[in-house]
Amino acid sequence: MGIADRLIEDVGLRRGVSRLTPEKIEKIVNAVITGETGARLKAYAETCVRCGLCAEACHFSLSHPGDPSYTPAGKVHQTMSVLLNKKGKVDPDFIYGMAQLAYTECNLCRRCVHYCPIGIDTGYIISTVRRICHKLGVTPQYIQDTAHSHSATFNQMWVKDDEWTDTLMWQEDEAREEFPGLRIPIDKEGADIYYSVIAPEPKFRTQLIYQAAAIMHMAGADWTMPSEPGWDNSDMCMFTGDFEMMGRLKRKHFESAQKLKVKRIVMGECGHAFRSIYDMGNRAVGWKMPPVPVIHSIAYFWELMTEGKIKLSKKYPGPVTVHDPCNVVRGQGLHEKLRELVNFLVEGGIVETASNREHNLCCTAGGGVINCGPPFKNVRVAGSKIKADELRATGVKTIVAPCHNCHGGLEDTVHSYKLGMEIKFLGDIIYECMEKPEV
């Protein structure tokens, strides 16, 4: 029982492993462990009493009852514990399984935090395993492609600089039919708000930029979007273990905002990007907290609501259920604001899933898992069985999920488990229900 029994072919992992030798592995493993980790990993590795309480926490283990190799401690047992016990003396085949497990069977969602009496952060341990995999050059092909894109373009989706501004102008042009006078102000110095998105928005979810512009316009916000690289707040490098690039990406992002002398950054409905900006990426470049105030769309829309700047012409027909994205509930405690906002927007209120607020179950797409691509899709969907059960039990038709990755994952879950539910961003609902000008 374990990862060796369920290996999946992936070009990136296979090619990476083919270049390894036991000597190289030993050198890199120990370089990371002695050079980049310290008391935190040491204390976690030593004080974990192997009580197994975390088995109840993880959606992967709850979706595979009876298979302990999916539990948080079970995953550490197959990866970091082996590296530490053997002092890095493992063979290339072991690295293949270790990488597959770390990249595709842990979403770094941190739900296990609520189950560990000692306070062990399994997400940190698995991140460190990924860091070692990155340094070994053993990463799944699809997510590595996005990391390469970050390195080459400072955005995740190979969006070219001219295509970016073209997309903004295109969305502005489209939106002006519905909202005469709407602008997407580019590079406006001193604006109140610097609105940042993830690269999949210009690439294939352009309606989100349209909707955000419409909401900003109707709220009378003083906002801007940057023309130059730095506009993408996403960060797959954080998830591949390329922490150098994580730092470069965040520096670029913050400096882009500082250059425009904006008051704060409002970011779109993304979870992982929030983790990068607010928690991990800022630390990688030595900022204890973000050097430019950052708020997530949930908090921004909540502000607009409390200030009376969202005027609804109707309420969205509910009831709905709310999916709490890990990175903004366990990442910044936005769950109550999210609920106040949803209750404001929706007719019929919220039917909660059994696990909600900071105790949410992950969508099984986060932590870069969905970004590992088609080879691992079935693993991901199998891991979301427990989430599907909780969603089905609500009996409602709509899931509100303010995170791109959660959308991607939940779409597959809803489809595979035949839940017949629709998934909405907050922006979708606000746009649909807000007062619009008579044209």
Partner 1 sequence: MNAAYQFVTGPLAWAAWGIFLLGSGYRLISMYQLAKTKDATSIAFMSWHFSLRSIVNWLIPFNALGWRKSPVMTVATFVFHACLFLTPIFLVAHMLLWNQAFGVSFATIPDNAADIMTLVVIAACLYFAGRRLVQPEVRYITSGKDWLALVIVLAPFLTGFLAYHQAISYNAMIILHVVAGEIMLAAIPFTRLSHMVFAAFTRAYMGSEFGGVRHARDW
- Please tell me whether residue 25 binds partner 1 under the rule CB under 8 A: no
Member of 68, 92, 137, 319 binding partner 1 (CB under 8 A) = 68
Instruction: Reply yes or no: is the peptide bond before residue 319 cis, omega within 30 of 0.
Output: yes
Member of 114, 263, 314, 415 binding partner 1 (CB under 8 A) = 114
Closer residue to partner 1 in complex, CB, 46/438: 46
Comparing CA positions, the residue from 88, 82, 87 lying closest to residue 69 is 82
Tokens at residue 92, please?
């290339």
Q: Please tell me the count of residues contacting partner 1 according to CB under 8 A.
A: 51
Member of 18, 21, 47, 306 binding partner 1 (CB under 8 A) = 47
Give the integer Cα–Cα distance in Å for 341 and 404: 18
- Please tell me whether residue 46 binds partner 1 under the rule CB under 8 A: yes
Comparing CA positions, the residue from 294, 285, 313 lying closest to residue 194 is 294
- Please tell me whether residue 42 binds partner 1 under the rule CB under 8 A: yes
The torsion angles phi and psi of 90, rounded to 5 degrees, stand at -130, 160
Member of 11, 49, 169, 354 binding partner 1 (CB under 8 A) = 49
Least distance to partner 1 from the beta carbon of 94, Å?
Answer: 17
CB contact set of 392 (below 8 Å; sequence gap of 6+): 417, 419
- Please tell me whether residue 116 binds partner 1 under the rule CB under 8 A: yes
Residues from 304 through 363 that contact partner 1 (CB under 8 A): 329-333, 335, 358-359
Closer residue to partner 1 in complex, CB, 39/152: 39
Q: With contacts defined by CB under 8 A, name the span among 53-61, 140-148, 215-223, 414-422 that binds partner 1.
A: 53-61
Closer residue to partner 1 in complex, CB, 237/346: 237
Closer residue to partner 1 in complex, CB, 47/306: 47
Least distance to partner 1 from the beta carbon of 123, Å?
Answer: 11
Member of 26, 56, 228, 389 binding partner 1 (CB under 8 A) = 56
Tell me which amino acid residue 14 is.
Answer: R
Tokens at residue 356, please?
């909600």
- Please tell me whether residue 52 binds partner 1 under the rule CB under 8 A: yes
DSSP assignment of 339-404 equals HHHHHHHEET-B---SS-GGGPPP-S-TTTTGGG-GGGHHHHHHHTHHHHHHHHHH--SEEE---H
Residue spans of beta strands (DSSP E) within 129-288:
193-196, 223-224, 264-267
Do 269 and 189 meet the contact criterion of CB atoms below 8 Å apart? no
3-class DSSP state for residue 197?
A: strand
Give the orientation angle of helix 404-416 with respect to helix 385-394, to 10 degrees.
80
Least distance to partner 1 from the beta carbon of 391, Å?
Answer: 19
Residues from 368 through 407 that contact partner 1 (CB under 8 A): none
Give me the 273-312 binding string for partner 1, x by CB under 8 A, dash otherwise.
-----xx---x----x------------------------
Least distance to partner 1 from the beta carbon of 330, Å?
Answer: 5
Closer residue to partner 1 in complex, CB, 279/389: 279
Least distance to partner 1 from the beta carbon of 82, Å?
Answer: 11
Q: With contacts defined by CB under 8 A, name the span among 72-80, 96-104, 155-163, 254-262 that binds partner 1.
A: 72-80
**Is residue 152 packed enough to be buried (19+ CB in 10 Å), middle (13-18) or exposed (0-12)?**
exposed
Least distance to partner 1 from the beta carbon of 51, Å?
Answer: 7
3-class DSSP state for residue 24?
A: helix
Q: With contacts defined by CB under 8 A, name the span among 67-75, 170-178, 370-378, 392-400 that binds partner 1.
A: 67-75
Q: Is 243 left (phi over 0), alpha (psi -120 to 50) or beta?
A: alpha
Q: Would you give the DSSP letter of residue 264?
A: E
Q: Would you give the DSSP letter of residue 223?
A: E
Closer residue to partner 1 in complex, CB, 121/163: 121
- Please tell me whether residue 38 binds partner 1 under the rule CB under 8 A: yes
Tokens at residue 214, please?
């419409």
Binding interface with partner 1 (CB under 8 A): 1, 36-40, 42-44, 46-57, 61, 66-69, 71, 73-74, 77, 113-121, 278-279, 283, 288, 329-333, 335, 358-359
